[in-house]
Amino acid sequence: MQLRSQYDGEILRLAVPALGSLAAEPVYVLVDTAIVGHLGRSQLAALGIAATVLTGLFGIFNFLQYGTTAQVARAEGAGRRETAAQLGAQALWLSLAFGVAIAVLVAALAAPLVAAIGGEGQTAEYAETYLRIAALGLPAAFLALGGQGYLRGVADLRTPLLILIAGNALNVVLEVLFVYGFDWGIEGSAWGTAIAQAMMGAGFVVVIVRRTTDLGLLRPQPALARRLLSVGRWIFIRTTSLIAAFVLAGATAARAGDAPLGAHQIAFQLWIFLALVLDAVAIAGQIIVGRELGAARAERAYEASERMIWLSVALGAAFAIVIGAGAELIPRAFTSDAATLDQAALLWPLFALTLPFSGAVFALDGILIGASDGPFLAASMAVAFAVCATTLGVVLAAGWGIRGVWGAIVLLVLVRLALMGARFRRRRWLVTGWA
C-alpha cells in the first residue's frame, strides 16, 4: 500500500464527518441508558428491550439511507442535478410512508414484541409504554434516514452532523427535564426521544426543501421512487441477513451459559464500536464510487476503491494490535467475574483476528453499495449467512462454546470477503452512467 494517494484528502473529508454522524446513535442510546438507569432495574431492563426493537428496525430499514446515497451520488456525477434533487424528495416520501407504517405496527404490537424478546412483569409494562410513546417519533426518525441519504449523496456530510448533534443535545435537555424535573419516569425518557427525533426529522426536511430551488421537484415521482426501492430491496435483504447472523450468534452464546454470553457481549459491543470507524470509510466509498461511475470515470472509481480498501485494512490491523495487546486488561474494564474473564480469553484471539478482514469487508460493502450492485450484495450475504448459521448449529450440537461462536463469526467475515473480493477484482460492478 502506498503511503499517500491522490484520493486520501477526499476520503478523509468525507469519512470524518460520517464518523461523527455514525457515533450519534450510540451516544443517543448511552444518554437514555444513563438517565433511565437511575430509575431502577426494571426501567433499565425495559429500555434495553425497547432499544433492541428500535435499533433493529433502524438497521433493517437503513436501505432508505444507503440506497439514496448511491443513487443521488450517481445522478450528481452524471450532471443530473435536478434528478438528484428529485431523488432526495422521493427518499423523504418513501421514508415518511415506511415510518408511519412501522410506527403503527410498533404501537399496535408493542406487547408481543416485548414478549418475544423476553420481557415479563413490570419490566414488560415499562417496555410496552416506552415503545408506544417512542413510536410517535418514528416517522420523523425515518425522515432523518432518507434526508441523510440525500445529503451524503451530494457530499454534504457536515449538515447531517450538525442536525444530529443538535438533536442529541435536545434529547439530553428534554430527558433530564421530563424524567427528573417532571418526575415522569421512563415515560419522560420516551417523550424526550420522540420529540428530539421529530425536531431532527423536521430539520432534514427544511434543509432539503431550501436546497431545492424549484419546489415542483419535490412532488412524488413514482418512477424515481421505484428506482430507489429497486436498489433498496437488495440492501434490505443484505442487512436482514447480517442482523440475523448476529442474533443467532448471540442466541448460541446464551445457550452456552451466562459467562460465555457475558464474554460475547463485551467482545461484540467492542466490535460494533470499532466498526463505526470502518463504516465511515465505507460511506465515503458509497459517495465517491457513485459519483465517479455516474460521471463515467470507471478507472477513477476503481483506483479510489482500492485505496479505501487498503486504508480500511490498515485501520483494522491497527485495531487488532490494540485489542490483542489488551487481551488481559480490556475485558477487566467491563467485568471482574472470573468465569466471564476466562471465556473472554478463549474468544479474544478470534475477535482480534476478525478486525483486518472486517476492514476490507466494510470497504467493499460500501463500494458495491455505491455501485448499486444490490443483487450481488444480497446473494453474497445470504451465502455468508447460510455458512454462519450452519456452523452455529454444529457449534451448538457439539458444545464448542464461545470459541465456536466466534469461529462462526470469523467464517461469516471470511466468506463475505472472498465473495466480494472476487466480485471487485472482476470489475463487473463498474457500470457507468445514469441509465
Amino acid letter, 133: I
225 falls within a domain = no
pLDDT at 214 over 80: no
**Is 261 within 8 Å of 269 (Cβ atoms)?**
no
Q: Note the pTM of the prediction, 2 decimals.
A: 0.90
- Residue at 226 is within a domain: no
Region 320-343: mean pLDDT is: 92
Residues above pLDDT 70, as percent of the chain: 99
Task: Yes or no: say if 309 and 363 are a contact pair by the CB < 8 Å rule.
Answer: yes
Question: At residue 52, does pLDDT exceed 90?
Answer: no
In this predicted structure, the answer to whether residue 123 has a pLDDT above a threshold of 80 is yes
pLDDT averaged over every residue in the chain = 91
Q: How far apart are CA 183 and CA 128, in angstroms?
A: 19
Q: Which of 274, 252, 276, 273 is nearest to 264 (CA)?
A: 252
> Looking at the predicted structure, is the pLDDT value of residue 169 above 80?
yes
User: Is 266 in the same domain as 406?
Assistant: yes
Report, as an integer, the average pLDDT of 412-421: 97
Longest dimension (CA), the chain: 64
Report the Cα–Cα distance between both ends of the chain, in Å, rounded.
Answer: 34
For residue 56, the model assigns a pLDDT of 84
Structural domain for 56, as ranges: 1-220
Looking at the structure, tell me whether residues 269 and 188 fall in a common domain. Answer: no
With a cut of 90, say whether residue 143 has pLDDT above it.
Answer: yes
Q: Which of 180, 196, 220 is the last residue of a domain?
A: 220
pLDDT at 1 (0 to 100): 59
CB atoms within 10 A of CB 397: 8
Q: What domain count does the chain have?
A: 2
pLDDT reading at 50 higher than 90: no
Do residues 179 and 235 both lie within one domain? no
- Least confident span in 208-217, 234-243, 422-431: 208-217
Q: Is the pLDDT of residue 333 over 90?
A: no
Is residue 316 in a domain?
yes
Per-residue pLDDT band for 4 (boundaries 50, 70, 90) equals confident
Whether 76 is covered by a domain: the verdict is yes
Q: How far is CA 303 from the centre of its chain?
A: 26
Instruction: For 372-406, write each residue's pLDDT tens digit.
Output: 999 999 999 999 999 999 999 999 999 999 999 99
Q: Which of 288, 323, 322 is nearest to 306 (CA)?
A: 288
Name the most confidently modeled range: 240-249, 263-272, 313-322: 313-322
Looking from the CA of 109 toward its CB, the CA atoms found within 13 Å total: 12
Same domain, 109 and 211: yes
Question: Cβ(411)–Cβ(269) under 8 Å?
Answer: no
Report CA-CA distances (Å) from 19 to 13, 57, 248, 254: 11, 21, 28, 31
Residue 101: CA count within 13 A, CB half-sphere: 8
Indicate whether 432 pLDDT > 90. Answer: yes
Q: In this predicted structure, what is the pLDDT of residue 2?
A: 63
Do 201 and 293 sit in the same domain of this protein?
no
- Ranking 257-261, 307-311, 373-377 by mean pLDDT, the lowest is 257-261
Contact 287, 160 (CB under 8 A): no
pLDDT score of 207 = 93
265-235-418 Cα angle (round to 5):
70
Q: Are residues 301 and 342 in the same domain?
A: yes
End position of a domain, from candidates 195, 220, 245: 220
Q: Residue 116 pLDDT > 90, yes or no?
A: no
Residue found by looking up cell 470507524 in the block:
277
Identify whether residues 242 and 176 lie together within a single domain: no
Tell me, yes or no, whether 212 and 71 share the same domain: yes
Confidence band, pLDDT 50/70/90 cuts, at residue 294: very high
d(CA 20, CA 152) in angstroms, rounded, equals: 13
pLDDT for res 3: 66
pLDDT of amino acid 153: 95
Nearest CA to 253 out of 340, 334, 352, 320 is that of: 340
> Is pLDDT larger for residue 277 or for residue 200?
200
Residues 6+ apart with CB under 8 A from 157: 14, 17, 18, 21, 151, 283
Are 191 and 299 in a shared domain? no
- Name 417's Cβ contacts closer than 8 Å, sequence gap at least 6: 357, 360, 361, 364
Q: What is the 3-state secondary structure (H, E, C) of the chain?
A: CCCCCCCHHHHHHHHHHHHHHHHHHHHHHHHHHHHHCCCCHHHHHHHHHHHHHHHHHHHHCCHHHHHHHHHHHHHHHCCCHHHHHHHHHHHHHHHHHHHHHHHHHHHHCHHHHHHHHCCCHHHHHHHHHHHHHHHHHHHHHHHHHHHHHHHHHCCCCHHHHHHHHHHHHHHHHHHHHHHHHCCCCHHHHHHHHHHHHHHHHHHHHHHHHHHCCCHHHHCCCHHHHHHHHHHHHHHHHHHHHHHHHHHHHHHHHHHCCHHHHHHHHHHHHHHHHHHHHHHHHHHHHHHHHHHHHHCCCHHHHHHHHHHHHHHHHHHHHHHHHHHHHCCCCCHHHCCCCHHHHHHHHHHHHHHHHHHHHHHHHHHHHHHHHHCCCHHHHHHHHHHHHHHHHHHHHHHHHHCCHHHHHHHHHHHHHHHHHHHHHHHHHHCCCCCCCCC
Look-up: residue for cell 416517522?
139
Residue 70 belongs to a domain: yes
Residue 22: inside a domain, yes or no? Answer: yes
pLDDT of 312 strictly over 90: yes
Same domain, 265 and 405: yes
Contact 289, 367 (CB under 8 A): yes
Same domain as 194, residue 305: no
- pLDDT confidence of 86, banded at 50, 70, 90? very high
Query: pLDDT tens across 30-41, in order?
Result: 778 788 877 887
Give the separation between CA 309 and CA 318, rounded to whole angstroms: 14
185 and 288 belong to one structural domain: no
Residue 112 within a domain: yes
Q: What is the pLDDT of residue 258?
A: 83
